[in-house]
Amino acid sequence: MCILAPKLVDAGRHPNIELRILSEVTGFKGKPGDFQVEVTRKTLSVNPDKCTGCADCAEVCPVEGTNPFDENIGVRKAIYVPFP
C-alpha cells in the first residue's frame, strides 16, 4: 500500500478523473483520448455530496464483515476508508 496510496491520492485530485464509489464499469467504447464509459452505480449508504472524509461514520458503524483485502482473514466495518 505504501506505493499505491500516493497514486490513489493523485487520482482523486486529478481534474479529469471522477472517482465513483460502489461503481463498476459495465461498458466501454472508443479509443484513447476519445471514449465513453458506461458505469453502473450500486446503492449508497452515505451521501457522497455530504461526505467530508472524516471517517466518523466508520468509527460508529455497528456492522462488521470479512476483509477481502487480506483474503478474508481479518474483519472491517461495512463503512470504511479504503485509503487515507
Walking along the chain (84 residues) 10 residues at a time, the average pLDDT comes out as: 82 88 92 92 83 88 90 89 69
Mapping DSSP to helix (H, G, I), strand (E, B) and coil, where does residue 68 land? helix
Say what the pLDDT of residue 33 is.
86
d(CA 53, CA 38): 26
Say what the pLDDT of residue 29 is.
95
Q: Rounded to two decimals, what is the model's pTM? A: 0.45
Say what the pLDDT of residue 55 is.
86
Say what the pLDDT of residue 84 is.
58
Q: Please indicate, yes or no, whether residues 53 and 32 belong to a single structural domain of this protein.
A: no
Say what the pLDDT of residue 38 is.
94
Residue numbers of the domain that contains 60: 45-84
Cβ neighbours for 29, distance < 8 A, ≥ 6 positions apart: 35, 36
The tally of domains found in the chain comes to: 2
Q: Please indicate, yes or no, whether residues 36 and 50 belong to a single structural domain of this protein.
A: no
Alpha-carbon distances of 45 from 13, 21, 25, 50, 57, rounded to whole Å: 23, 11, 20, 12, 10
Looking only at the bridges linking them, the beta strands covering 34-41 and 64-66 are unpaired
